[in-house]
């Protein structure tokens, strides 16, 4: 009953096998080998346009390097108040950009409000005594609270960004889950809706370590190659990332894994809704389920071996929390089984 | 009718005369001359304890270097949402600290709420996936909207800071005005109420350029000397700052200037309250007056030569703004005359 | 005939197999799983003392984070003029440390001279108008030009460092090759000779991506965990590095691979010495061979498919270079075969 | 007998008087007042072309902000081995540029050799495994050892810089002394010889605190205004710097002060040459004299009240130093008197 995080899982056997397949042989280093270039082309096919791909160490590094590539003097990146970059990445963005910062923008259930975005940009860039220079807008897809932006939502945010001449970044640590949830194409979810670059994450969805910055708009992120080099993240044997992505994209493995995680989360959500001892905090849309449980119930589940964490009450939460109740997060991964969910359900029912 | 800012004024004649008096002669450079050391001792007398004094280039530099001296990896400084450091200093704090950042804390009329401070510190330092490390709390005295913290207010904030083991900084760009408004001693306003270091500003109050970081708690800000040197702000002929402060403190000149500015602001506030065409946005406590005027009235005043700026609506404003009304800021300095206020009053009455 | 770099090779089959073995199953993320902890203990055994181990993205990141962990305001790290950190790492050290810098120290054939080190430290830390604060000494083992420091060499440098109260870092990107060359123990080569922390590299010696900072002296590098987190290099599925190191240390695989590389390099050196068309630039001691070839000969070899690069003339080179001659670098890895060397030999002989 | 530094002197009475003259009255803040704009125009006249002028806190800040304005990722600035920026500014350049660094270039007696410059640029920018990106060349005029570049010298360095597409910066902390020594025009010494921007110092030559970055080439240093703002050096009452420069340029005061300092230094040089107990280390060309004295003689002078410092032996020194001899620096300022020199001479003779 491992629901603590999707990064507690291992890797899919196909990915492991592909790493073994590419273990031998000689290849040009630093991401310029044959396999590397084939994988870059595969990204272009997936996104239906020429893209630039930069492998990086982690999702946090992908976000921070993306921001650094759009950096301005006194730079301000607009993000949702609960964005991972704002509340979970230990100042990486400020460090990578030499002091740029995030300005939090509110919005219900993890989704930035276009109106609030417009207001925040105006506030921080007023003529007199400015806070700095707005430099970018960033959204997370799927969001930190398990919800998903629709293509219309993204277009509305992109419209505000464009009006203020700001590039739009997507933190796609769980991009596969968002695609699986909406069944729009990767192109529609990103550049066709105004996204200029994405932190594309495979690590939470069945890879060992496969994170990349993918650039759609060639006007944006021009310095990424050099920023990555200065950051010590130009991998010599880049094949070990390429081999993972090669398998990831083969026969839609990435979407199959994400669909499994989403479906398992949906089953978990139903299980919780059906249980007398719990209820959903809000409707899950991807692979994360937020439930309201009595603290005593949560402790009983944990004592029985279920792994999951308490979560803070997000902005825009309009439900009711009883005195002894709290919100708990349950995450399903490619490896989570129906059996695990059902065991949790049995405990909840008991 | 110059109410645009207290930094549009020149310098007091006593300060100018003292600069002339010290123009000739040879002195050890880099702040180690006889006059420099005498002025440092004067600061210790003013604050009734041994302090360390570091002259710096501007109030922004004083704030940014103060923060840098308390820097932690992934550092987060808690400040009021409308703190000058947060909305007016072009990212200086992030730059000087290599990527630390500010977390805005709400509170009515420019004053941080101790409860909100406690909540914000807890939020940013939670165990799982932290945003970074809280490193300092900073408050502005007098505040950005012309209000003043009482000694009790400061003690309440210091109590929260201390509980979380965070040093407390005061942005004292208008410290003299706060002292003049409350008539507590500098010691009571600062270290006796739990303040560890202050950005002490003389520039807005009748000096040419006289800003310093003053350290009360010897455990805090140990690296300030080296940080300042690396920042290129160790002045060779530091006498030119010492000479200003020498005159500033002689015969309470600093308080006489601040009392004049505050009294002139109070007269301005009454004038506005009495005028049919305007009203106070809130009660001023130091040398800044915020008034609600019809935009047409404001334009008429400006057309007649009055200098002042429109201001954003601050958090916690519970007054009413008509459709064509806005909030305007009027600042009185040591050099503002009753005549200027009365001419403005006549225009308002007309 | 791949002699361009040891990072063109793939991974050893044992390492690949171990990755597959650990692909399934659930583990605590962020380097706190059972396998991770077992591997940290293995490092302590290898080095015969309690050590702290931090996995990082690359050797450059290991160096830069090591330096950042010893950072001082206005910091200066003393390194050999030809240190990888000085001439090949694109400013990573300056970036990670927020502006610290390297002061190059001369010494023949890649080895820092203790006397020159002493002189440089004194020069940069003189009282009047200092350049900054010396903060660390770093040496590379095996060196950038294929030579090796003896334990006595290291002790002499450590003695100077200690006298100036500076920690001593070792860039061990080819540490295994140095151990294989000297057959002293890892403990003797490092902390027993005064080394405080090491960038421990497995990537060039048969791993996919396995780099770590290993700390011997608990007084040094205390902030490394947080610096790494802020740098976005706290890997969620750290198992994929642990699994590599587990196999790397099993049955001395790491030393077997390094011995093979060194022996192949020695065979290559003999082959070159025996060839009429080339000669050694200096005596190789690890897995890199530097040869003087006529440019026409080098081009002929390259045309026949041999991969290797021209190299700059290092400080302290006291040999003779003819008008059409240059220095070329040949690197042997765990995967380089005797056959490759012999084919090169045949071409040289022809 | 104050020869320790030209920054131990006070300010010229004309400058002091002008500050008093501008003490009263209201002016637009932040360098946009009438006097400020008049002084910017005066700079354009002095340099016979449109220039941009940015007042900054110190000479170190002028240098560091200049470098930051030409910053590149992994940036490398080429400077003379003994450049003030390299050995006396406590890492300010690295800090202001977020990690860029200096590459020292040799050359006799404080002057960079164009050939060595060319070689260093090539070395640091080689294709394979680069150290970073060369970003600028900087020279000091007058140099750190009291010598002066001729216009031909500057042109030769500018030619190398231009060939590598690098902007050329001049550290002009003692620019007035160089102009006074050569009697070429400020325009000939700078942009007509290929200099793109200069740190223009008035502080060492009779001002209180008057340093500026002056930009000749509008393609260079575009971000200086914002970099200065982020660095907290946008002075609110910029008049206090403008008033100094206004007097500085009136009736050639700046050149009259520099000529006096140079002439006094020349008199000091003759005095030393004539004394049996000392000799010149090399021929002085501006206001700094470097003498070889027996240590016992130096101590006798210091005991008698003469202020001066021992100096390190510079690169390219081809004189002879006896066992008990050292090199000492004597600096003459606008305020140094012939009487002081003669008293020193009498002591030396005695």
CA nearest to D225 within chain A: A73
Q: Is A312 left (phi over 0), alpha (psi -120 to 50) or beta?
A: beta
Residue A37 CB coordination number (10 Å): 14
With bands split at pLDDT 50, 70 and 90, how would you rate the model's confidence at D127?
A: low
The pLDDT assigned to A127 comes to 62
Task: Report which of A323, A325, A329 is spatially closest to residue A293, judged by C-alpha positions.
Answer: A325
| Closest Cβ–Cβ partner in C73, C94, C129 for D101 | C94
Domain A11-251 has CATH 3.90.226.10: no
- Distance between CA atoms of residues D43 and D51, nearest Å: 7
Identify whether the C-beta of residue D272 lies closer than 8 Å to the C-beta of residue D348. Answer: yes
Q: Is B324 left (phi over 0), alpha (psi -120 to 50) or beta?
A: alpha
Identify whether the C-beta of residue C107 lies closer than 8 Å to the C-beta of residue C80. Answer: yes
The pLDDT assigned to B128 comes to 58
Contact across the interface for D73 and A226, Cβ inside 8 Å: yes
CATH architecture of C11-252: 3-Layer(aba) Sandwich (3.40)
Which alpha helices (H) appear in A10-78, and where do they start and end?
13-21, 34-46, 59-69
Greatest CA separation for chain D: 63
Beta-strand runs (E) in B95-236: 101-105, 133-140, 168-172, 197-201, 211-215
- Distant-in-sequence, close-in-space partners of D109: CB < 8 Å, separation ≥ 6: D143, D145, D147, D282, D314, D316, D317
| Closest Cβ–Cβ partner in B12, B92, B237 for D208 | B237
The pLDDT assigned to C128 comes to 59
| pLDDT tens figures, B237-279 | 999 999 999 999 999 999 999 999 999 999 999 999 999 889 9
Contact across the interface for B235 and D58, Cβ inside 8 Å: yes
Residue D283 CB coordination number (10 Å): 12
The pLDDT assigned to D299 comes to 96
Q: In what order do the strands lie in the sheet with A133-140?
A: A52-56, A211-215, A197-201, A168-172, A133-140, A75-80, A101-105
Helix or strand holding residue D326 (H, E): strand D325-331
Beta-strand runs (E) in chain A: 52-56, 75-80, 101-105, 133-140, 168-172, 197-201, 211-215, 278-280, 288-294, 309-311, 325-331
Comparing B99 with A317, the larger pLDDT belongs to B99
CA nearest to C333 within chain A: A26
CATH of A254-349, one of 3.20.190.10, 1.10.630.10, 3.90.1150.10, 3.40.250.10: 3.90.1150.10
Which of D131, D314, D328 is most worth mutating to test chain C (most C CB atoms within 10 A of its CB)? D131
Beta-strand relationship, C211-215 and C197-201: antiparallel
Residue C165 CB coordination number (10 Å): 7
Query: D touches which chains (3+ CB pairs under 8 A)?
Result: A, B, C
| pLDDT tens figures, C178-210 | 999 998 999 999 999 999 999 999 999 999 999
Which alpha helices (H) appear in chain C, and where do they start and end?
13-21, 34-46, 59-69, 84-87, 92-96, 114-124, 151-163, 175-182, 186-189, 224-230, 239-249, 253-274, 295-303, 338-349
Q: Running DSSP on this structure, what letter comes out for residue C109?
A: G
3-state secondary structure of B201: strand
D218, burial (CB in 10 Å: exposed 0-12, middle 13-18, buried 19+): exposed
Identify whether the C-beta of residue D274 lies closer than 8 Å to the C-beta of residue D265. Answer: no
- Distance between CA atoms of residues B258 and A34, nearest Å: 72
- Whether the bond between A113 and the residue before it is cis, its omega within 30 degrees of 0, is no
- Distance between CA atoms of residues B29 and B235, nearest Å: 8
Please state, in angstroms and as integers, the Cα–Cα distance from residue D152 to each residue in D46, D47, D159, following that order. 21, 18, 10
Work out how many CB contacts closer than 8 A connect B with D.
Answer: 153
- Distant-in-sequence, close-in-space partners of D10: CB < 8 Å, separation ≥ 6: B22, B23, B24, B25, B26, B27, B237, B239, D335
- Distant-in-sequence, close-in-space partners of D153: CB < 8 Å, separation ≥ 6: D111
Tens place of pLDDT per residue across chain A (350 aa): 899 999 899 999 999 999 999 999 889 989 999 999 999 999 999 999 999 999 999 999 999 999 999 999 999 999 999 999 998 999 999 999 999 999 999 999 999 999 999 999 988 877 655 899 999 999 999 999 999 999 999 999 999 999 999 999 999 999 999 999 998 999 999 999 999 999 999 999 999 999 999 999 999 998 999 999 999 999 999 999 999 999 999 999 999 999 999 999 999 999 999 998 899 999 999 999 999 999 999 999 999 999 999 998 887 788 899 999 999 999 999 999 999 999 999 999 87
The pLDDT assigned to C25 comes to 87
With bands split at pLDDT 50, 70 and 90, how would you rate the model's confidence at B42?
A: very high
| Closest Cβ–Cβ partner in D96, D101, D129 for C91 | D101
The pLDDT assigned to B37 comes to 97
With bands split at pLDDT 50, 70 and 90, how would you rate the model's confidence at B183?
A: confident
3-state secondary structure of A334: coil
Beta-strand runs (E) in B50-181: 52-56, 75-80, 101-105, 133-140, 168-172
| Closest Cβ–Cβ partner in C9, C10, C26 for A2 | C26
Identify whether the C-beta of residue A69 lies closer than 8 Å to the C-beta of residue A76. Answer: no
The pLDDT assigned to D45 comes to 98
| pLDDT tens figures, B189-216 | 999 999 999 999 999 999 999 999 999 9
What the block records as the tokens of A241 is 């990332």
- Sequence ranges of the domains in chain C: 11-252, 254-349
3-state secondary structure of D206: coil
Contact across the interface for B73 and C230, Cβ inside 8 Å: yes
pLDDT surpassing 70 at residue B236: yes
CA dihedral in degrees (A128, A130, A135, A140; nearest 10)? -120
The structure's pTM equals 0.97
CA nearest to A86 within chain B: B131
Shortest distance between the Cα of B202 and any Cα of chain C, in A, equals: 28
Q: Phi/psi of residue B236, each to 5°?
A: -70, -50
Q: Running DSSP on this structure, what letter comes out for residue C314?
A: P
B91 CB neighbours in chain D (<8 A) are 230
pLDDT surpassing 80 at residue C82: yes
- Distance between CA atoms of residues D82 and D144, nearest Å: 7
- Distance between CA atoms of residues A132 and B87, nearest Å: 8
| Closest Cβ–Cβ partner in D73, D98, D99 for A223 | D73
Identify whether the C-beta of residue D206 lies closer than 8 Å to the C-beta of residue D253. Answer: yes
What the block records as the tokens of D164 is 């590598």
Residue C215 CB coordination number (10 Å): 22
* DSSP bridge pairs for C79: C104
The pLDDT assigned to A129 comes to 59
Length of chain A counted residue by residue: 350
- Distance between CA atoms of residues A30 and A37, nearest Å: 11
Please state, in angstroms and as integers, the Cα–Cα distance from residue B322 to each residue in B231, B326, B327, following that order. 47, 8, 11
Contact across the interface for A73 and D223, Cβ inside 8 Å: yes
3-state secondary structure of C47: coil
CA dihedral in degrees (A89, A95, A96, A100; nearest 10)? 100
Length of chain B counted residue by residue: 350
- Distance between CA atoms of residues C126 and A41, nearest Å: 56
Residue B163 CB coordination number (10 Å): 10
CA geometry: angle B39, B69, C167, nearest 5 deg: 120
The pLDDT assigned to B191 comes to 98
Identify whether the C-beta of residue B191 lies closer than 8 Å to the C-beta of residue B183. Answer: no
pLDDT surpassing 90 at residue B314: no
The pLDDT assigned to D128 comes to 59
- Distant-in-sequence, close-in-space partners of B120: CB < 8 Å, separation ≥ 6: B78, B103, B105
| pLDDT tens figures, B112-155 | 999 999 999 988 877 655 899 999 999 999 999 999 999 999 99
C-alpha atoms less than 13 angstroms from C-alpha of A22 in its C-beta half-sphere: 23
Contact across the interface for D129 and C87, Cβ inside 8 Å: yes
Contact across the interface for C98 and D97, Cβ inside 8 Å: no
| Closest Cβ–Cβ partner in B98, B124, B131 for A95 | B98
CA nearest to C97 within chain D: D99
Mean pLDDT in residue range C317-338: 94
A152, burial (CB in 10 Å: exposed 0-12, middle 13-18, buried 19+): exposed
Shortest distance between the Cα of A96 and any Cα of chain D, in A, equals: 10
3-state secondary structure of C107: coil
pLDDT surpassing 80 at residue C125: no
Shortest distance between the Cα of A132 and any Cα of chain B, in A, equals: 4
CATH of B12-252, one of 3.40.1010.20, 3.40.640.10, 3.40.50.300, 2.60.120.10: 3.40.640.10
């Amino acid at each position: 009953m491992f629901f603590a995080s999707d990064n507690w899982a291992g890797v899919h056997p196909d990915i492991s096998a592909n790493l073994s397949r590419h273990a031998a042989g000689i290849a040009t280093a630093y991401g310029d080998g044959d396999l590397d270039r084939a994988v870059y082309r595969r990204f272009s096919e997936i996104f239906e346009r020429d893209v630039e791909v930069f492998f990086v160490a982690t999702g946090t590094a992908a976000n921070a390097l993306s921001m650094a590539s759009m950096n301005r003097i006194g730079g301000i990146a607009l993000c949702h108040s609960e964005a991972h970059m704002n509340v979970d990445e230990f100042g990486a963005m400020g460090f990578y950009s030499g002091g740029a910062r995030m300005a939090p923008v509110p919005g219900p259930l993890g989704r930035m409000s276009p109106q609030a975005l417009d207001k925040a940009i105006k506030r921080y860039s007023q003529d007199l005594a400015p806070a700095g220079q707005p430099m970018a807008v960033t959204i997370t897809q799927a969001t930190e609270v398990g919800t998903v932006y629709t293509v219309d939502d993204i277009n509305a945010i992109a419209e505000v960004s464009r009006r203020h001449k700001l590039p739009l970044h997507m933190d796609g640590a769980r991009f596969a889950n968002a695609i699986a949830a909406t069944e729009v194409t990767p192109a529609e979810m990103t550049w066709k809706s105004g996204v200029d670059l994405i932190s594309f994450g495979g690590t939470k969805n069945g890879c060992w370590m496969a994170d990349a910055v993918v650039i759609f708009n060639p006007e944006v992120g021009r310095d990424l190659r050099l920023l990555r080099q200065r950051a010590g993240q130009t991998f010599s044997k880049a094949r070990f990332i390429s081999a993972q992505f090669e398998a990831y994209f083969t026969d839609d493995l990435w979407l199959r894994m994400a669909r499994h995680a989403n479906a398992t989360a949906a089953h978990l959500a139903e299980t919780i809704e059906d249980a007398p001892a719990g209820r959903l905090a809000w409707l899950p849309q991807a692979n994360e389920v937020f439930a309201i449980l009595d603290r005593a119930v949560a402790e009983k589940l944990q004592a029985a071996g279920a792994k999951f964490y308490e979560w803070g009450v997000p902005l825009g939460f309009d439900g009711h929390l009883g005195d002894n109740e709290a919100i708990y997060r349950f995450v399903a991964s490619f490896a989570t089984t129906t059996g695990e969910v059902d065991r949790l359900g049995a405990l909840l029912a008991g």
